[in-house]
């Protein structure tokens, strides 16, 4: 039922196409933001959620497990919205500044995702289920965040200063959608370039199978995202430095306000459109 609702919404939403009124230039009018989503299900009582709460390296130790959002929660539904081919190729033209396509996907795309969350809450509530979408819930808190991943004036902060009380990528990992990449994006069967949302509900659904064990299992550590990053925020040795990335995004926000973005670690990489092939030994 949830798949049908999500697919129906995406196929019929005008917001999935850049409107003439919003368009930053004529060439992007009518471009599709997202392709067909991927959906994964997790048991709301999965022990990984409790581990996220107590491990300070994960989401800054501030994670709220599903049952703290919704007392009677049974299932967490995680949804990956892969960017369309046009959005990804647009952002591959210039590897320093975000393309207009990408700016729309981050800004108007986020509005679409929030609309999807509200739609799912309405539809499930009509059918008698309880439902919470943390990304639009008043209790959601992003620490050191402006809604991107940082804020103006990040100097002196370390990776552990960044976090939130709900992490869409960690939830997607639990729901079988994929594993992390060196750039800290989540590599799914439809690639790393896209956005996530999730809902917590008392509806019961079989959890999806996780065909991985390690959190970086799908990443080949090829280092292409290291070379792509205009901020020098990713290294093979230490992964992603959130402060450097957040500073760069803040610069883009000043230039393109109210839009922002970068995403060069998600395009022109072997994990852009799917799980990369392991290198031959």
Listed ranges 68-76, 193-201, 205-213, 258-266: which one lies at the site for ligand SF4 (CB under 6 A) = 258-266
Report yes or no: 20 and 29 within 8 Å, Cβ to Cβ. yes
Could you say which residues in the range 96-115 bind ligand SF4, by CB under 6 A? Answer: none
Rg (CA), the chain: 18
42 binds ligand SF4 (CB under 6 A): no
234 vs 21, 163, 183, CA distance in Å? 36, 18, 6
Residue from 63, 80, 102, 248 in contact with ligand SF4 (CB under 6 A):
248
| 271 is a site residue for ligand SF4 (CB under 6 A) | yes
Of 120, 186, 229, 253, the one binding ligand SF4 (CB under 6 A) is 229
Rounded to the nearest 10 degrees, the angle between the axes of helix 2-12 and helix 100-126 is: 140
Distance from the Cα of residue 268 to its chain's centroid: 18
Stretch that binds ligand SF4, among 99-107, 124-132, 135-143, 259-267 (CB under 6 A): 259-267
Nearer to ligand SF4, 48 or 222 (CB): 222
Residue 219 within binding range of ligand SF4, rule CB under 6 A: yes
Q: Which two tokens stand for residue 169?
A: 């990528």
Per rule CB under 6 A, is residue 264 in the interface with ligand SF4?
yes
- The minimum distance between CB 154 and ligand SF4, in angstroms, equals 12
Residue 114: HSE in the Cβ half-sphere, 13 Å Cα cutoff: 9
Q: Angle at Cα 38 formed by Cα 33 and Cα 39, nearest 5°?
A: 130
Answer for which of 31, 124, 133, 234 binds ligand SF4 (CB under 6 A) is 234
Give the distance, in angstroms, between the CA of residue 33 and the centroid of all CA atoms in the same chain.
14
Q: 38: exposed, middle or buried (C-beta count within 10 Å: 0-12, 13-18, 19+)?
A: buried
CB 183 to ligand SF4: min, Å: 5
Q: Which region among 110-118, 124-132, 153-161, 240-248 touches ligand SF4 (by CB under 6 A)?
A: 240-248
Binding mask 177-216 for ligand SF4 (x = CB under 6 A): ----xxx---------------------------------
Closest CA to 21 of 32, 29, 13: 29
For residue 188, report the phi and psi dihedrals to the nearest 5 degrees: -110, 180
CB of 272 to ligand SF4, least distance (A): 8
With beta carbons less than 8 A apart as the criterion, state whether 1 and 77 touch: no
- Separation in Å, CA 176 to CA 39, 56, 72, 152, 179: 9, 23, 22, 34, 8
| 225 makes contact with ligand SF4 (CB under 6 A) | yes
Q: Which stretch binds ligand SF4 (CB under 6 A): 7-15, 47-55, 160-168, 265-273?
A: 265-273
Instruction: Pick the stretch among 7-15, 53-61, 100-108, 225-233 that binds ligand SF4 (CB under 6 A).
Output: 225-233
Q: Are strands 186-188 and 194-201 parallel, antiparallel or unpaired?
A: unpaired
Rounded CA-CA distance 194/268 in Å is 14
270 contacts ligand SF4 (rule: CB under 6 A):
yes
Q: Tell me which residues touch ligand SF4 (CB under 6 A).
A: 181-183, 219-225, 228-229, 231, 233-234, 240, 245, 248, 262-265, 269-271, 276
């Amino acid at each position: 039922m949830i798949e049908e609702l999500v697919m129906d919404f995406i196929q019929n939403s005008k917001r999935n196409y850049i409107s003439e009124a919003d368009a930053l230039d004529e060439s992007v009018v009518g471009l599709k933001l997202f392709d067909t989503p991927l959906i994964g299900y997790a048991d709301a009582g999965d022990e990984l959620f409790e581990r996220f709460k107590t491990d300070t390296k994960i989401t800054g130790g501030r994670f709220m497990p599903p049952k703290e959002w919704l007392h009677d929660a049974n299932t967490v539904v995680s949804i990956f919205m892969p960017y369309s081919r046009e959005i990804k190729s647009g952002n591959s033209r210039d590897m320093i500044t975000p393309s207009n396509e990408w700016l729309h996907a981050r800004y108007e795309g986020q509005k679409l995702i929030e609309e999807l969350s509200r739609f799912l809450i309405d539809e499930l509530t009509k059918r008698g289920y309880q439902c919470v979408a943390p990304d639009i819930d008043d209790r959601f808190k992003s620490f050191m965040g402006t809604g991107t991943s940082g804020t103006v004036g990040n100097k002196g902060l370390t990776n552990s200063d960044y976090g939130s009380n709900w992490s869409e990528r960690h939830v997607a990992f639990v729901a079988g959608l994929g594993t992390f990449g060196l750039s800290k994006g989540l590599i799914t069967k439809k690639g790393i370039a896209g956005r996530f949302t999730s809902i917590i509900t008392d509806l019961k659904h079989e959890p999806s199978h996780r065909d991985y064990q390690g959190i970086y299992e799908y990443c080949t550590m090829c280092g292409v995202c290291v070379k792509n990053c205009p901020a020098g925020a990713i290294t093979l040795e230490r992964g992603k430095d959130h402060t450097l990335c957040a500073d760069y995004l803040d610069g883009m926000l000043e230039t393109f306000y109210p839009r922002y973005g970068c995403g060069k670690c998600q395009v022109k990489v072997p994990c852009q459109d799917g799980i990369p092939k392991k290198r031959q030994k």
